[in-house]
Structure 1
Amino acid sequence: MEELNNVEVQSPEVGQIVKGVVTKVEEKQVIIEIENCKFTGIIPISELSSLHVEKASDIVGENDQLDLKVIKVEEESLILSKRAVDADLAWESLEDKFESKEVFNAEIKDVVKGGLVVDLGVRGFIPASLVETYFVEDFSEYKGKTLSLIVVEIDKEKNRVILSHRAVVEKEQVEKKQELLDSIQAGDVLEGTVQRLTNFGAFVDIGGIDGLVHISQLSHTHVDKPSDVVEEGQKVSVKVLSVDRDNERISLSIKETLPGPFEAMKEKVKAGDVIEGEVKRLVSFGAFVEIFPGVEGLVHISQISHKHIGTPHEVLEEGQTVKVKVLDINSEEQRISLSIRELEESPNASEEDYIRFQSQDEPSGFQLGEMIGDQLNKLK
């Protein structure tokens, strides 16, 4: 009894912070036993949290020890607030976080029109535009999810706390982008995803930064438009051609990661084969014929016809489809020798000799009869 008499019985005042233990949780209120106090404490459900609460048991349970603020003194009870104590602590913490741009995690408690709500001791709001770096149509799946956030706006007088997850993501992207720029080198082969197509090429995400694959670097063959070769979202291998760290520009190539057309051609074409091709270019010394996508071989002027011709234009034209025989494939120099003449019927010997004689640029010093002898007499 002497010990009990020495315990001072408090008569709390409005605004005072008291300690209490939960003795009963009802649907719309919580009953509290306050230390050294003859009054019963009551926490209305509206004073449990800064957010809407359906059931008091969602916030506290029996025997929980709480710090509470007295908001009203009645005859035999005190009306207490857990929300007010949490808010006082929260504002100080949030102001520190705002000044330092600290990143912290919080659980999404509710999805409302225009954004998301978190409980930080005070109500924190994440506008829809500050949730992600991309457009989100439906936020319902975010409830209960934990997001990394920073405070972007705070006003205690207006009870306003604006948060952003997007800013955290953007900061991480910038850091990752810089790290990637510092680490990649020309010659690296990386995996990427085609992000968007333009008329001059394709932008490929290589892990936080986009690089450009110019249209000329999409394929070994001619490309009219990038969409003929790649599509948005496609996974591709790319080779780094150059890195401009000052301007954050990266040049990439898909073509450089693919087998060259000559290598692919070698697996399907060999010397002696007869194949069709398209005359691509005519030059003074012969014709270049495409016999495989991106691979051209030379038909020397001497291999165009058995008859003497002054220029290839006399018997061929660009775009013409011709049959050619593969004479030789030089893998080291990536050169292919072709012949059209080999596929034509050969004239008789006397005509060949006569043609060969006629095609000489300089007089040989021999008479016609001396060169072809009896063969010429037979012609006569």
Structure 2
Amino acid sequence: MNEENNELLAALDSVAEVKVGDVVKGEVLAIDDARQVIVGIEGAGVEGVIPMRELTADRDANVNDLVKVGDVLDLVVVSTIGSDKEGGSYLLSKRRLEARRAWEEIASKHNVDDIVEAPVTQVVKGGLVVDVEGVRGFVPASMIENRFVQDLNQYKGQTIRAKIIEINAADSRLILSRRDVLNEERSAALARVFNELSVGDVVEGKVARMTNFGAFIDLGGVDGLVHVSEISHERVSQPSDVLSVGEDVKVKVLGLDPEKERISLSIKATQPGPWEAAASEAPEGTVLEGTVKRVVDFGAFVEVFPGVEGLVHVSQISHKHIANPSDVLKAGDKVKVKVLEVNPDKQRLSLSIKALEEAPAREEGQSNNDRPRRQRRPRQEQAPTNYSTSEEEGSATLGDAFGDIFKDFN
């Protein structure tokens, strides 16, 4: 009898004591209706429970697809549920053990300033939640870009390169910065771009972003600015009216400032100017339709192509006498004009409205001298500049004119 008691006591003493934080093996005994997994802790003679949340992070997962009765799992003891040694139960977790091992691996593999690739799993108010080799990491909003970002949702599902700023396995704290990586990449790209580019070069880029004053063009890790005045030969109010983010464009380098890290670009400088087109599309004699842009005392300026205005001199407005061009024309009028002369080098275009109108018929017997003439302002009498001695105008000499006076001196 004593021998049996001794064997029983020995068996009880051999049961391992389970403590919170211990890593144990548990055999799956059953799966209850609450989707909890009941396991027997090996070597302890007690049972433990694995709630679904401690088995997987996937809320939509089916517990029967994850474990089967008889499976043996590595688990960590989270807390106690019962108090007696023989029948006590424990809250166990598979997820936390995997996270602990992942942290141990991360801590052994990586240090501060290491760069890792991490998928963005969640967007929260303060930044991005990322997965770094099974460990939950966080990228604060201020460390996502080297500029302000309005909407963080654009990063969800992307895999980003980020630098480890802080790593603390004991506190499960992993902070990363994507901004630091971008700044390093930009510095390298700046050195390359300023080394390769020269003022006057024409290169291809992609529209990265737009503001009210222009568009930033990505030249391969470095952005250059196309001011709104350099987008088109036509007037552009908003860059977004003619450009879209992601669009491929050709640009000409207008300026390079390595110290300020600025690159000035132009799109319109890569396109034919409006005056070049005018020379080929509107030679002398061409009839065009245009819009009166402004009226001045000596005529009216008419836009016949975007960015190309020609002058209709007051004398070319009508066959009738026009005292003031504003009496017959105003800004916004649509008119047909004939090209009298085009000079693209001087950006001059002479136009005529009256050349397209039929001249009024002369009345019988009316000569050019009968036409009404403009009343001219009286001019001060001036001494003649030329003297004529032709026979038609007489052959008088100074002696003839002053002969009587000379006689008195004889």
TM-score norm. by structure 2 comes to: 0.54
Which of 1 and 2 has greater Rg?
A: 2
**Structure 1 pair 209–256 and aligned structure 2 pair: CA distance change class (3 A):** same
Which residue of the other structure, out of 188, 203, 217, is the alignment partner of 2:215? 203
Instruction: Indicate conservation of the 8 Å contact 1:12/1:70, yes or no.
Output: no
Q: Which runs of 5+ in 1 are unaligned?
A: 1-8, 305-314, 352-360, 371-380
RMSD: 5.7
Q: Deviations over 1:26-60 (max 9, x none)?
A: 422341573xx473553432893697979892894
Partner residue in 2 for 1:171: 181
Distance (whole Å) between structure 1 residues aligned to residue 309 and residue 100 of structure 2: 80
| Residue-by-residue CA offset, 1:203-242 (whole Å, 9 max, x unaligned) | 3333654433335424435x5x743994685758452223
2:260 is matched with 247
Offset of residue 196 of structure 1: 0.3
Partner of 1:31: 39
CA shift, 1:12, in A, is 3.6
Question: Which of 263, 275, 278 in structure 2 is aligned with 1:262?
Answer: 275
Structure 1 length as normaliser, TM-score? 0.57
- Unmatched 5+ residue regions in structure 2? 1-12, 317-322, 330-334, 371-383, 394-410
2:98 is the counterpart of 1:86: yes
* AA matched with 1:195: M
Q: 1:240-292 deviations in whole A, cap 9, x for unaligned?
A: 2233344221212232233311233245423124667778999xxx9996663
- How do 1:52-63 residues align onto structure 2 when only pairs under 5 Å count? 57=63, 60-62=66-68
What pairs up with 1:1-380 in 2 under 5 angstroms?
11-13=15-17, 14=19, 17-19=23-25, 21-22=27-28, 24-26=30-32, 27-32=35-40, 34=42, 37=43, 39=45, 42-45=48-51, 48=54, 57=63, 60-62=66-68, 65-69=72-76, 74-75=85-86, 79=90, 81-83=93-95, 85-95=97-107, 96-106=109-119, 108=121, 124=137, 134-136=149-151, 142=156, 145=157, 147-148=159-160, 151-156=164-169, 159-164=171-176, 167-168=177-178, 171-172=181-182, 175=185, 178-179=188-189, 182-183=192-193, 185=197, 186-192=201-207, 195-198=210-213, 202-206=214-218, 209-220=222-233, 223=235, 226-227=237-238, 230=241, 233=244, 237-240=249-252, 241-266=254-279, 268-273=281-286, 292-293=304-305, 294-295=307-308, 326-329=339-342
Distance 1:266 1:32, change over 3 A: farther
Do the aligned residues in 2 keep the contact of 1:203 with 1:210 (CA within 8 Å)? no
Alignment deviations for residues 1-33 of structure 1 (CA, whole Å, 9 cap, x no partner): xxxxxxxx9744446544455454442234157
The percentage of aligned residue pairs carrying the same residue is 28
| Alpha-carbon distance in 2 for matches of 1:131, 1:116 | 8
Which residue identity is paired with 2:67? G
What is the number of residues matched between the two proteins? 328
